[in-house]
Amino acid sequence: MTRHDDPLFQPFTLGELALPHRVLMAPLTRSRSAQPGDVPQAMNVEYYRQRAGAGLIFSEATQISPQGKGYAFTPGIHSAEQIAGWRRVTDAVHDAGGRIHAQLWHVGRISHPALQPGEALPVAPSAIRPEDAKTFISADSGMVDVPQPRALEAGELPGIVEQYRQAAENAREAGFDGVEVHAANGYLLDQFLKSGSNAREDAYGGSLDNRLRLPLEVVEAVVGVWGKARVGVRVSPTGSFNAMHDEDPVATFGAFAKALDSIGIAYIEVVEDSFQGNHETGRPEAVIDAIRGRFAGAYIGNGAYTADEARQRIADGRADLVTFGRPFIANPDLPERLRSGVALNEPDYATFYGGDEHGYTDYPFLEARD
C-alpha cells in the first residue's frame, strides 16, 4: 500500500478542523502536574509538543472543578494558574503544527475524601459504591478503595452543568481547538448514563430518557460556549472499568447517539475495547452499529488498535478515525512510524502514572530531532 491510498493517511475534516490524517492521540492521564495546584508544567509542555504530529491530540482528562478531581497529580482547568499552564501546552502544540482538544472530566464517585474540598464524600447519581474500584490519593498511600458516594441532590445538578460550562470557557481561554466531554470509563457522566450506577427516582434517573438528561444538559452547555463543530463526546458503552454495567448498551448508547446527533456535535469517540484487556470478546459491533446508524457526525474508534486493524476498520466504514493510547505513550512520532511501517517502542507500564520525565518525554524518536 502506498501512502497515497493508505486509509490511515487520508485527510479528514472534523467539524471545523482540517486533520492531515486519521491517527489521533487518545486522552491519557499521566499524573505529572505541578504541585500544589494541579498545574500543567514544563515537562507537560514538552510531552505534548513531542506528540504534535498526531492528527489531533486529546488532552489527558482534566478536572473541571475541585470536586471533579479523583486522583493525585492530575491537572485541572478551573484556576488561573491551570489555564495559564494549559496555554503554554496549546501554544507549543500549535507552534509545532498540531491541534489539541481538552478532555473535560468530573470523576463523580471515583474519588476519595482525601482529594475532595472539605474532605467531603465524592458525589454520584446514587449512593452506590463501585465495588473494587480504587483511586490514587498520594505518593505515600498508593491505591486505595473508593468509599460509598453521596447521591447528588436534584438542586445541585445545575451547579454541575455550570462547572462544565465554566471549564469549557476556560479551555477557550487556554487556547484549545475544541473540547471532548468525558462520558466514559465510569466517571460522573457515565455513572448517570448506565443503569448499574443510576438508581435515581427523579427526572435524572430511572427511565432511559432520564439517564441521558444530565449528560445532554452538559453537552448543550459546552456547545453554548464552543459551537457544535468544536465539541465531541467520549463513551465506553460496554466498559466495566470502575465497576460499571448497563442493562442494555445498544439501547442506551443508540439513544444517546441519536440525541447527540440532534445537537449536531462533531464526533463521538467510542472506547470499543477495555484497556484492561477484554479483547477476546471482540469489538461490540451491535453497539457500534447503533451509534453509527443514528449519528451523522464522525465516529472515532478506540481500544487496542493496531495500524492494520485501524486501516481495515476505516476501509470497511466501521470508523472514520482512530485514537491510539498506549502506542502514543511510547512513540511520540507514532504517525510517522505507522506510515513507514517501522517497529514501535514498547510502553513501560511502571511509568504510566506519576513521576518525572523518565517514561514520559524520553521515549526515542525515529531519528534525532533538532
Ligand X SMILES: Cc1cc2nc3c(=O)[nH]c(=O)nc-3n(C[C@H](O)[C@H](O)[C@H](O)COP(=O)(O)O)c2cc1C
User: Using CB under 6 A, which of the segments 24-32, 117-125, 210-218, 362-370 binds ligand X?
Assistant: 24-32
Residues 106-135 that bind ligand X (CB under 6 A): none
Query: 61 or 115, CB closer to ligand X?
Result: 61
Q: Which of 21, 182, 230, 337 binds ligand X (CB under 6 A)?
A: 182
Task: Give me the least distance between CB of 304 and ligand X, in Å please.
Answer: 4
Helices (H), 297-349: 307-315, 326-330, 334-340
Q: Tell me which residues in 338-357 interact with ligand X (CB under 6 A).
A: 352
> Can residue 318 be called a binding residue for ligand X (CB under 6 A)?
no
177 or 190: whose CB is closer to ligand X? 190
Q: Rounded to the nearest whole angstrom, what is the least distance from the CB of residue 116 to ligand X in the complex? A: 19
User: Interacting stretch for ligand X, rule CB under 6 A, among 39-47, 203-211, 224-232, 318-326?
Assistant: 318-326
Q: Please answer whether residues 34 and 42 qualify as being in contact, where contact means their C-beta atoms are separated by less than 8 angstroms.
A: no
Residue choice 111, 191, 302, 361 for contact with ligand X (CB under 6 A): 302
Q: Where are the beta strands (DSSP E) in the chain?
A: 12-14, 17-19, 23-25, 57-63, 100-105, 123-124, 134-136, 143-145, 150-151, 178-183, 231-235, 267-271, 298-302, 321-324
Answer for which of 9, 19, 57, 60 binds ligand X (CB under 6 A) is: 60
Q: Measured from the CB atom, is 352 or 365 closer to ligand X?
A: 352
Give 275 or 365: the residue with its C-beta nearer to ligand X.
275
Q: Which amino acid is at 161?
A: V
Q: Which amino acid is at 186?
A: G
User: Kind of pairing, strands 321-324 and 23-25?
Assistant: parallel
Which candidate, 203, 184, 201, 202, places its Cα nearest to that of 193?
Answer: 184
Three cell numbers written together for 188: 460522573
Query: Which of 12, 14, 19, 29 touches ligand X by CB under 6 A?
Result: 29
Contact 321, 24 (CB under 8 A): yes
For residues 28 and 123, which CB has a smaller minimum distance to ligand X in the complex?
28
- 350-358 long-range contacts (CB < 8 A, ≥24 apart) are 352/30, 353/29, 353/30, 353/31, 353/71, 353/73, 353/136, 354/30, 354/31, 354/32, 354/72, 354/73, 354/136, 354/139, 355/32, 356/32, 356/43, 357/43, 357/46
103 binds ligand X (CB under 6 A): yes
Rounded CA-CA distance 336/346 in Å is 16
**14 - beta bridge partners?**
17
Residue with smaller CB distance to ligand X, 28 or 266:
28
Quick one: 27 or 284, whose CB is closer to ligand X? Answer: 27
Regarding 326 and contact with ligand X (CB under 6 A), the answer is yes
Task: Examine residue 27 and tell whether it contacts ligand X (CB under 6 A).
Answer: yes
Could you tell me the smallest distance in angstroms from the CB atom of residue 71 to ligand X? 9
> How many residues does the structure list for the chain?
370
Q: What is the nearest approach in angstroms of ligand X to the Cβ of residue 235? A: 10
| Catalytic option among 48, 164, 187, 353 | 187
- How far apart are alpha carbons 108 and 280 in whole angstroms? 30
| Segment contacting ligand X by CB under 6 A, of 25-33, 136-144, 221-229, 283-291 | 25-33
User: x/- string (CB under 6 A) for ligand X, residues 189-228?
Assistant: ----------------------------------------
8 A C-beta contact, residue 252 and residue 286: no
Percent composition of the chain: helix, strand, coil (DSSP 3-state, to 5): 40, 15, 45
Provide DSSP, 191-227.
HHHSTTT----STTSSSHHHHHHHHHHHHHHHHHHH-
Among 15, 122, 125, 303, binds ligand X (CB under 6 A): 303
Q: Where does this chain touch ligand X (CB under 6 A) — which range of 85-93, 129-137, 299-307, 357-365?
A: 299-307
- In the annotation, is 187 catalytic? yes
Active site residues: 187
Summarize as ranges the residues that interact with ligand X (CB under 6 A). Answer: 26-29, 60-61, 103, 182, 184-185, 234, 271, 275, 302-305, 324-327, 352
